[in-house]
Amino acid sequence: MTDADLTTLALGTDLTSLGLALNSPEPVHRTFASPWADAPGRPDPDWSPPPCYLHTPPPLAPGHFARFALETLFYCFYAMPGDEAQLFAADELSRRGWTFHKEYRVWVARAPGAAEPAAKTATSERGSYLVFDTGTWETVRKDGFVLHYDALERPPNLARAGGAGGAGAAAGAGAGAQPPPPPVAAGQQQQPPPQRP
């Protein structure tokens, strides 16, 4: 190729011609700010954080999440997968009457003030529910929503300082266990299952 611009476009630029020491063990960003800068980049600031910033935060506990707004709990659940905060957020959401729908991957709760489900069988019910829509990040009312009990996730049921829930209740949630109860109306407290000896 005879055109210098086409050659640069097709083959690129030799980085050593820009003053880059590619064989140096030092990081390149300290001596090369950009191809359009004539001087090297500013050095990293030589400072350290004040000692008051260096502390260990208290460990997470389910009780902390009881003070969070509903939207904050949804954020913790969806934005922190696999994290301890996701489990605590799921526990608090279930305490507030929300149930996770495994098939649709959303949280649902019986709509407050709604009548009893219009149709109810041993495996499902149809009625008015609140559904948290992750696309619009808001709670949407769905009338005539069919809720199959086998599509609902069991609540985590973590141990709490007040004695509600606990390891004994969580141990009973295994194979052959009864389906989870239908969700209670949002804003109502779900009664914890009885403790097993």
Helix or strand or coil: residue 131? strand
Q: Which comes out higher in pLDDT, residue 60 or 99?
A: 99
pLDDT of the residue at 54 = 87
Which structure tokens are listed for 173? 């949630």
Per-residue model confidence (pLDDT) at position 175:
35
pLDDT higher than threshold 80 for residue 14: no
pLDDT at 132 over 50: yes
CATH topology for 62-168?
SH3 type barrels. (2.30.30)
Name the DSSP class of 194: P
Instruction: State how far the Cα of 110 lies from the Cα of 27, in Å rounded to an integer.
Output: 57
Most confident region among 40-54, 76-90, 162-176 by mean pLDDT: 76-90
Is the pLDDT at 109 greater than 80? The verdict is: yes
What type of residue is 160? R
pLDDT of residue 158: 79
Q: Which residue has the higher pLDDT, 176 or 104?
A: 104
Task: State if pTM tops 0.85.
Answer: no
Start and end residues for every CATH 2.30.30.1020 domain found in the chain = 62-168
Mean pLDDT of 59-64: 84
Q: How far apart are CA 102 and CA 97, in angstroms?
A: 16
pLDDT band at residue 101 using 50, 70 and 90 as cut-offs = very high
Query: What's the confidence (pLDDT) of residue 186?
Result: 54
Q: Using CA atoms, how far apart are residues 116 and 118, in angstroms rounded to an integer?
A: 6
pLDDT at 134: 92
Q: Measure the CA–CA gap between 145 and 189, rounded to whole angstroms.
A: 22
User: What are the tens digits of pLDDT across the range 159-196?
Assistant: 665 444 433 333 333 333 344 455 555 555 444 444 44
Say how far residue 108 (Cα) sits from the centre of its chain.
16
Mean residue pLDDT of the chain comes to: 78
Mean pLDDT over 48-73 rounds to 88
